[in-house]
A and B are shown apart, each in its own frame.
Chain A
Amino acid sequence: DAGVIQSPRHEVTEMGQEVTLRCKPISGHNSLFWYRQTMMRGLELLIYFNNNVPIDDSGMPEDRFSAKMPNASFSTLKIQPSEPRDSAVYFCASSGQETSYEQYFGPGTRLTVT
Chain B
Amino acid sequence: KQEVTQIPAALSVPEGENLVLNCSFTDSAIYNLQWFRQDPGKGLTSLLLIQSSQREQTSGRLNASLDKSSGRSTLYIAASQPGDSATYLCAASTSGSARQLTFGSGTQLTVLP
Q: Do these two chains really belong together in a complex?
A: yes
Q: What is A's interface to B at a CB cutoff of 8 Å?
A: 31, 33, 42-43, 45, 48-50, 55-56, 91, 93, 95, 100-108
Smallest CB–CB gap between A64 and chain B, Å? 23
Smallest CB–CB gap between B14 and chain A, Å? 28
CB < 8 Å: which of A48, A56, A104, A106 contacts B46? Answer: A104
Chain A residues in 8 Å Cβ range of B36? 105
Q: What is B's interface to A at a CB cutoff of 8 Å?
A: 31-32, 34, 36, 42-46, 49, 51, 89, 91, 93, 96-103, 105-106
* A33 and B100 contacting across the interface, CB-CB below 8 Å: yes
Known: A101-B93, A103-B46, A103-B101. 16 other contacts (CB 8 A): A43-B103, A45-B100, A48-B100, A55-B96, A91-B43, A93-B44, A100-B49, A100-B51, A101-B32, A103-B34, A104-B46, A105-B36, A105-B45, A106-B43, A107-B43, A108-B43
Task: Classify the interface of chain B: helix, strand, loop or mixed.
Answer: strand
* A95 and B43 contacting across the interface, CB-CB below 8 Å: no
Chain B residues in 8 Å Cβ range of A42? 103, 105-106
Q: How far is the CA of A48 from the CA of B31 in the complex (A)?
A: 17
26 pairs, A vs B, C-beta closer than 8 Å: A31-B98, A33-B98, A33-B100, A45-B100, A45-B101, A49-B98, A50-B98, A55-B97, A91-B43, A93-B44, A95-B99, A100-B32, A100-B49, A100-B51, A101-B32, A101-B93, A101-B98, A102-B34, A102-B46, A102-B49, A103-B46, A103-B91, A105-B44, A105-B45, A105-B46, A108-B42
Q: How far is the CA of A93 from the CA of B38 in the complex (A)?
A: 14
Chain A residues in 8 Å Cβ range of B49? 100, 102
Chain A residues in 8 Å Cβ range of B45? 105
Q: How far is the CA of A33 from the CA of B93 in the complex (A)?
A: 13
Q: How far is the CA of A107 from the CA of B93 in the complex (A)?
A: 21
Interface centre among A55, A103, A106 (most CB of B within 10 A): A103
